Amino acid sequence: MVRETHRYFKFDWITIILFLLLVGFGWLNILSASHTGETIDYLDFNEPYGKQLMFVFLTFGLIILILSIDSKFYERFSSIIYIISMLSLVGLFVFGKNVNGATSWYAFGGMTLQPSEFAKAATALAVAKYVSDLNTDIKKFKDQIQTFILVVIPAILVLLQNDAGSTIVYAAFFFVLYREGLPKIYLVLGVVVVLLSVFSLKFGTIITSVVAGLVIFINHFFTKKRPHFFQPLLILMACIILSSGIKFFYQSALQPHQQDRISLWLRLEKDPVKLEKMKKTFAYNLNESEKAISSGGVSGKGFLQGTRTTGKFVPEQHTDYIFSTVGEEWGFFGSAMVVIVFVLLLIRILHLAELQKSQFSRMYGYAVASIIFMHFMINIGMVMGLIPTIGIPLPLFSYGGSGLWGFTILLFIFIKLDSNRINEW
Amino acid sequence: MRKFLLFLSIILVGFIFILRLFYLQVYQSQDHDLFEDNAIRKVYDYPKRGFVYDRNGELLVANQPSYDVMFVPREVKPLDTLEFCSLLNINKEQFLEIYNKAYHYSPWLPSVFIPHLSKEDYAVLQEKMRKFEGFYIQKRSLRLYQTSIGANVLGDIGEVNNAIIEKQPYYKMGDLIGKQGVEASYEDILRGVKGIKFIQKDRFNRDLGPYKNGIYDTLPQPGKDITITIDAKLQEYGELLMKNKRGGIIAIEPSSGEILAMISAPSYNPNLLVGRNRSRNYSKMHYDTISKPLYDRSLLAQYPPGSPFKVLNALIGLQEKVVTTDDRFGCRMGYYLGSRRLTGCHSHYAPLSMNDGIAQSCNSYFANVYRRIIDKYDDPAEGMNVWSNHIKSFGLGNYLGYDLKIGSKGRIPDGNFYDKWYGKGRWVSTYNISNAIGQGEVEATPIQLANMAAAIGNRGYYYTPHIIKQIEGETIDINYTTPKHTTIDKENFEPVVHGMFDVYNKGTAASLQVPDIEICGKTGTAENFIKINGVKTQLTDHSIFVAFAPKDNPKIAIAIFVENGYWGSRFAGKIASLMIEKYLKGYITRTDLEDWILTHSLEDEYEKPYSGHSFGINKESTLQVIPLDESLRSKKEPNIKE
């Protein structure tokens, strides 16, 4: 019995407390964003806040379940979990329910379930399992490709379901693999492609090429062991081709609404009439969300007192735009606290991951932190107008049972793995 | 190193987010103000605007309902535009223009489609309104002038402009405010305080209910009724007499400073500036730069006061002890300095003492008195200052301080004025001898001259003229009930008052006597000039008259200017006698005077400068005779009731 009691103290309570803070505060904001009228019936399951309260209670059952399963289970059955999860994504093409243009839900009576929220945890397990295998060397190209396939399968599946936001989240695995020894060239390539894209769209191909050329040649002449003169020329050629390719991709491959979002984000549109029109159409959400956050001021208007929240000025406020409620009602202090709690949670997970004895646990921990980080960065960045509009929820905060459970599973499997580390000591 | 990539990314992103939050919420944000918050609809509840009564309790200004056709562009459903347009008397192009303009402004906000429907149009439209989705009728309150007179006194109300909104945040776009006259002066009292309701709305502009259960809402406070000092009957009579003439009349009750009548001719019906046709009528009158119906001649027009000004010089002469009532001065059809004639005069016996000087309005007499006043001091500038201060103590040369928003200062020169003009010590009293007879550099408005007459009638003091008699539940400004004393001693007034009495008795107004009323008056004739195509051209003199009656304890003091009416008793004197009789008796015995005024028009005279031909003035002035409208004549006998 003594041993049993002891075990509970081996769970990382700091992570659990941060988790509870986010879920609790998230629910308060969902209540504020979704309640209508004067009376609040907490058990009204027709209202988002009522449903979410139920989801939160069910979450505790889920947590107990996850923590009571032996930690070896997750490693051992990771492939099976992955396959089941992928099948559930494939099944959507047959049985899926279309909501807002995305076919991402299974409907069971009144309930809906979004398998893509669980696929993240499954992919994290599978990748961790595959790479930590003694036969796998991430520095080898063949293994890189196989790992890449593991990540790309769910990414492509959710993309085909018109859920582009969730696809981008799978980029999180780059952090995991880089930590485990993925060659630096991928990081350099990734950064260069992103910078080139943004520069090309913002300043045009010519300016971008000139700047790229300058950087490459300055780098060339300051390098001590100079490679052959053709090498920088080739790199520059590649850059120019990439730069014009980006423009072409932007104009022909992207859908008009995606073009508009990027054009607004990079402030490409100068015509004030068109800008005003944008604010009334696709940029409406962003514009209202920024206004709501801004109107909160330093200390906010108070819980349930936000006029823009009460007036439902920000569409989808209880889901993707929940952070604007925090901004309006809790002001700068409240919003900054939410950001800080997220940062603390992420750093705590990273810290724990680094303490892991097994590569599997460490990789899994890294995957948890990376996935939550991607969501955090994209969601809050979007709501504040720092990055283009990409529809993904704020982890543990936004309304939605699948999302809450998906992140709970993701996080608590790691807490379980981590408690085992202490056990094995 | 590899393990720091994600760690640093997390820290960096967190830091950027907090900076962005700081920018949005601390740097860019303003304090939460309910009035600025466009998530809160502000619904105003406009109180009843106060009524205006005349001194006898006659209702002059009330309110009337008006109906605006409103619409929300997005809610308009396809409709039978032909029928709708014919109901509103517009064509389809106008319909589309109004619709598109409002849609462009905001598809979700209510806009005015047609303002101020008449009751008849409203009745017809109301039955069919349900056929036109998206349109509705909003009731508003407009002014209803129960009279066709006193437009310049009563004023009007109109929508506030941006300049007013910026200065006075009480007013919001579309609110009404008093623009002129009493409506402007007593705006705060008449308008009351509007109530406000804060309504929480959603992003489609739909109402969700009261914001915080209405704890910030307020109830409207109704405007208060006021009584003004105007005697509507006298005002109406004065406006009738001024038909076909231009000029201003002010009548004051000397014992209180209350303005009994305030007439500016030409005038207009105050109902022209109400409702749908307001802006059309307003611009029409605004751009009439020749007869200027919107220009209040009784308060704004500065004329050379002419001969009535002489009585002030007589008073100052006595006060400064430079002349006695018995000093006689000669007149050789003018005042001469050496062989140079400084001012002309008309034929009368000479030499004259003060009494006859006033009664005969002798220019030479007052030129002598004026020189004695100025030359009493070695420095003419000092003499000029003494003279100027005496004049100004009668309320001339500066704003009188009455409770209407417009006015002119007039002009009374002092020593400094001529020092600047000629140079210090380089002028003497003869340089500005015209001031002796109310010409030259002096100018005054009708209300200033009426106030001067009141001060003389009171023998040395006046009350600041005012238009407010009573405010429901309030007392009026103490400034209007405090006498202002002139610098002239009381005993010096009697000989001057007697001189003015003799103007009627045997002087220039002998033909204007009214049975049983002792009137003291003074005729005036003032030269005047305008520029035609840049050439200074003299026009027929202004006809001026100043009077008070009865001689002792006067009940009315009056000043009348009739532009280009030639000599004083020709137009102004007759009108003065008639108005005094009307006010004191209530009926007219001098019907000969009334008939003459009603049948003589100066319109042709006013046309002359704009005709483009050369024209003659004064003796060659034209007097247009118009047929008499019997219905306009006053009663000859007192009412039995009265």
Mark whether B184 and B280 lie in a shared domain: no
Under the banding of pLDDT at 50, 70 and 90, the label for residue A87 is very high
Residues of B in contact with A369 (CB under 8 A): 6, 10
Assess if residue B544 is contained within a domain. Answer: yes
Residues of A in contact with B42 (CB under 8 A): none
Assess if residue A268 is contained within a domain. Answer: no
Mark whether B185 and B242 lie in a shared domain: no
A301/B37 Cβ within 8 A = no
For chain A positions 183-212, those within 8 Å of chain B (CB to CB) are 187
Backbone angles phi, psi at B521, to 5 degrees: -150, 180
Q: What pLDDT is stored for residue B360 in this prediction?
A: 87
A187/B18 Cβ within 8 A = no
Under the banding of pLDDT at 50, 70 and 90, the label for residue A283 is confident
Nearest to A297 among B18, B32, B201 (CB): B32
Residue B495 DSSP SS3: helix
Helices B591-599 & B572-585, crossing angle to 10 degrees? Answer: 130
Shortest Cα–Cα distance, A25 to chain B (Å): 18
**Closest chain A residue to the Cα of B107, Cα to Cα:** A280
Mark whether A10 and A154 lie in a shared domain: yes
pLDDT tens for B292-318 read 888 999 999 888 998 899 999 999 999
**Closest chain B residue to the Cα of A328, Cα to Cα:** B25
Q: What pLDDT is stored for residue A308 in this prediction?
A: 79
Bridge pairing between strands B59-71 and B52-53: antiparallel
Mark whether B519 and B437 lie in a shared domain: yes
Residues of B in contact with A331 (CB under 8 A): 25
Bridge pairing between strands B535-549 and B334-337: unpaired
Mark whether B177 and B293 lie in a shared domain: no
Q: Give the whole-number percent of chain B exceeding pLDDT 90.
A: 34
Mark whether B221 and B351 lie in a shared domain: no
Mark whether B347 and B489 lie in a shared domain: yes
A310/B24 Cβ within 8 A = no
Length of chain B: 642
Nearest to A366 among B6, B21, B200 (CB): B6
How much is the average pLDDT of A8-16? Answer: 84
Q: What pLDDT is stored for residue A416 in this prediction?
A: 93
Assess if residue A266 is contained within a domain. Answer: no
Q: What pLDDT is stored for residue B640 in this prediction?
A: 56
Q: What pLDDT is stored for residue B242 in this prediction?
A: 93
Residues of A in contact with B5 (CB under 8 A): 175, 178-179, 187
The DSSP line for A385-406 is TSS-----PPTTTSS-HHHHHH
How much is the average pLDDT of B342-370? Answer: 86
Close Cβ partners of B227 (under 8 Å, ≥ 6 residues apart): B52, B53, B54, B55, B57, B468, B469, B470, B471
Beta bridge partners of B546: B522, B559
**For residue B31, is pLDDT > 60?**
no
Shortest Cα–Cα distance, A361 to chain B (Å): 15
How much is the average pLDDT of A259-284? Answer: 79
B5/A294 Cβ within 8 A = no
The DSSP line for A70-120 is -HHHHHHTHHHHHHHHHHHHHHHHHH-EEETTEEEEEEETTEEE-THHHHH
pLDDT tens for A165-214 read 889 999 999 999 999 988 888 888 889 888 888 888 888 888 888 988 88
**For residue A423, is pLDDT > 60?**
no
**For residue A37, is pLDDT > 80?**
no
Residues of A in contact with B36 (CB under 8 A): none
Bridge pairing between strands B247-253 and B258-265: antiparallel
Mark whether A23 and A127 lie in a shared domain: yes
The candidate with the shortest Cα–Cα distance to A320, out of A215, A408, A397, is A397
Host domain of residue A225: 188-253
B5/A340 Cβ within 8 A = no
Assess if residue B22 is contained within a domain. Answer: no
Size of interface A-B (CB pairs under 8 A): 111
Residue A269 DSSP SS3: coil
How much is the average pLDDT of B16-22? Answer: 94
Q: Which of A93-97, A252-256, B381-385 shows the lowest per-residue confidence on average (mean pLDDT)?
A: A252-256
CATH number at residue B215: 3.90.1310.10
A332/B26 Cβ within 8 A = yes
Mark whether B208 and B270 lie in a shared domain: no
Nearest to B37 among A307, A346, A376 (CB): A307
Domain boundary among A237, A253, A269: A253
Mark whether A202 and A289 lie in a shared domain: no
Provide the token pair at A271. 């015509």
Q: What pLDDT is stored for residue B202 in this prediction?
A: 72
Q: Which of B24, B41, B207 best tests the A interface by mutation, with the highest count of A CBs <10 A?
A: B24
Separation of alpha carbons A386 and A382, rounded Å: 6
**Closest chain A residue to the Cα of B205, Cα to Cα:** A311
How much is the average pLDDT of B585-596? Answer: 90
Under the banding of pLDDT at 50, 70 and 90, the label for residue B319 is very high
pTM of the predicted protein model: 0.66
Q: Does A87 touch chain B (CB under 8 A)?
A: no
Assess if residue B445 is contained within a domain. Answer: yes
B22/A340 Cβ within 8 A = no
Per-residue CA distances from A260 to A205, A250, B242, B350 (Å)? 19, 10, 71, 100
How much is the average pLDDT of B76-82? Answer: 81
Residues of A in contact with B39 (CB under 8 A): 307-308, 310-311, 313
Residues of A in contact with B9 (CB under 8 A): 175, 373
B26/A298 Cβ within 8 A = yes
Residues of B in contact with A336 (CB under 8 A): 18, 21
Assess if residue B414 is contained within a domain. Answer: yes
Q: Distance between alpha carbon B466 and the CA centroid of its chain, in Å? A: 12
Q: What pLDDT is stored for residue A6 in this prediction?
A: 55
For chain B positions 179-218, those within 8 Å of chain A (CB to CB) are 200-203, 208, 211-213
What total of structural domains would you count in chain A? Answer: 2
Domain boundary among A236, A253, A270: A253
A332/B2 Cβ within 8 A = no
Assess if residue B381 is contained within a domain. Answer: yes
ipTM surpassing 0.85, yes or no? yes
Mark whether B414 and B319 lie in a shared domain: yes
The candidate with the shortest Cα–Cα distance to B463, out of B250, B228, B261, B256, is B256
Q: What pLDDT is stored for residue B203 in this prediction?
A: 67
Mark whether A287 and A234 lie in a shared domain: no
Nearest to A311 among B22, B32, B200 (CB): B200
Backbone angles phi, psi at B133, to 5 degrees: -70, 140
Planar angle of CA A26, A41, B197, nearest 5 degrees: 90
A331/B200 Cβ within 8 A = no
Provide the token pair at A156. 């492509």
Assess if residue B302 is contained within a domain. Answer: yes
Residue B520 DSSP SS3: strand
For chain A positions 295-324, those within 8 Å of chain B (CB to CB) are 295-298, 301, 305, 307-308, 310-315
Question: CB of A293 within 8 A of CB of A383?
Answer: yes
Question: Pick the residue with more confidence: B506 or A9?
Answer: B506
Separation of alpha carbons A382 and A384, rounded Å: 5
Host H or E run for residue A130 = helix A116-132
B5/A187 Cβ within 8 A = yes
Host domain of residue B371: 232-632
pLDDT tens for B391-420 read 999 999 999 889 988 999 999 999 889 988
Q: Which of A32, A39, A138, A294 best tests the B interface by mutation, with the highest count of B CBs <10 A?
A: A294
Separation of alpha carbons A165 and A158, rounded Å: 9
Separation of alpha carbons B508 and B313, rounded Å: 18
Beta bridge partners of B137: B69
How much is the average pLDDT of A99-128? Answer: 87
Domain boundary among B181, B210, B228: B228
Mark whether A221 and A343 lie in a shared domain: no
Under the banding of pLDDT at 50, 70 and 90, the label for residue A318 is confident
**HEC string of B194-244?**
CEEEEEEECCCCCEEEEHHHHCCCECCECCCCEEECCCHHHHHHHHHHCCC
- How confident is the prediction for chain A on average, in pLDDT? 87
**HEC string of B23-87?**
HHHHHCCCCCCCCCCCCEEEEEECCCCCCEECCCCCEEEEEEEEEEEEECHHHCCCCCHHHHHHH
Assess if residue A273 is contained within a domain. Answer: no
Residue B593 DSSP SS3: helix
Provide the token pair at A373. 């980080």
Backbone angles phi, psi at B147, to 5 degrees: -145, 160
Mark whether B173 and B155 lie in a shared domain: yes
Provide the token pair at A305. 């007192």
pLDDT tens for B420-440 read 888 888 888 888 888 888 888
Q: What pLDDT is stored for residue B642 in this prediction?
A: 44
Mark whether A85 and A195 lie in a shared domain: no
- B358-386 burial code (b ≥16 CB/10 A, e <16): bbbbbbbbbbbbbbbbbebbeebbebbbb
Number of H helices, E strands in chain B: 20, 22
Residues of B in contact with A187 (CB under 8 A): 5
Q: Tabulate helix, strand, coil % of chain B (nearest 5).
A: 40, 25, 40
pLDDT tens for A64-74 read 999 999 888 99
Beta bridge partners of B221: B193
Mark whether B188 and B263 lie in a shared domain: no
Mark whether B623 and B479 lie in a shared domain: yes
How much is the average pLDDT of B224-251? Answer: 93
Bridge pairing between strands B226-228 and B52-53: parallel
Q: Exposed, middle or buried by CB within 10 Å (0-12, 13-18, 19+), for B260?
A: buried
Q: Does A369 touch chain B (CB under 8 A)?
A: yes
Provide the token pair at A18. 């941060």
pLDDT tens for B114-158 read 887 877 788 888 888 888 888 888 777 888 888 888 899 998 888
- How confident is the prediction for chain B on average, in pLDDT? 87
Shortest Cα–Cα distance, B104 to chain A (Å): 12
Under the banding of pLDDT at 50, 70 and 90, the label for residue B112 is confident
Mark whether B266 and B411 lie in a shared domain: yes
pLDDT tens for A131-170 read 998 888 888 899 999 999 999 999 999 988 888 888 999 9
Separation of alpha carbons B114 and B187, rounded Å: 27
Under the banding of pLDDT at 50, 70 and 90, the label for residue A5 is very low
Rg (CA), chain B: 32
Beta bridge partners of B195: B45
Nearest to B25 among A310, A314, A327 (CB): A327
Assess if residue B602 is contained within a domain. Answer: yes
What total of structural domains would you count in chain B? Answer: 2
Nearest to A311 among B3, B31, B202 (CB): B202
Residues of A in contact with B25 (CB under 8 A): 293-294, 296-298, 327, 331-332, 335
The candidate with the shortest Cα–Cα distance to B454, out of B427, B483, B474, is B483
B208/A315 Cβ within 8 A = no
Beta bridge partners of B259: B252
Mark whether A26 and A123 lie in a shared domain: yes
Under the banding of pLDDT at 50, 70 and 90, the label for residue B469 is very high
Close Cβ partners of A359 (under 8 Å, ≥ 6 residues apart): A128, A131, A132, A180
Assess if residue B14 is contained within a domain. Answer: no
| CB neighbourhood size of B236 (10 A) | 18
Residues of A in contact with B13 (CB under 8 A): 373, 376-377, 381
Task: Identify the top-confidence range among A7-21, A237-251, A296-310, B480-494.
Answer: B480-494
Bridge pairing between strands B195-201 and B207-210: antiparallel
Domain boundary among B187, B208, B228: B228
Residues of A in contact with B16 (CB under 8 A): 386
Domain boundary among A214, A232, A253: A253
A308/B25 Cβ within 8 A = no
Domain boundary among B228, B252, B271: B228
Mark whether A6 and A132 lie in a shared domain: yes
The sign of the torsion formed by the CA atoms of B372, B376, B380, B386 equals negative
Mark whether A228 and A170 lie in a shared domain: no
**For residue A2, is pLDDT > 50?**
no
The candidate with the shortest Cα–Cα distance to B527, out of B363, B376, B368, is B363
Assess if residue A287 is contained within a domain. Answer: yes
Largest CA distance in chain A: 75
Mark whether A297 and A382 lie in a shared domain: yes
Q: Exposed, middle or buried by CB within 10 Å (0-12, 13-18, 19+), for A337?
A: middle
Q: Does A340 touch chain B (CB under 8 A)?
A: yes
Assess if residue A262 is contained within a domain. Answer: no
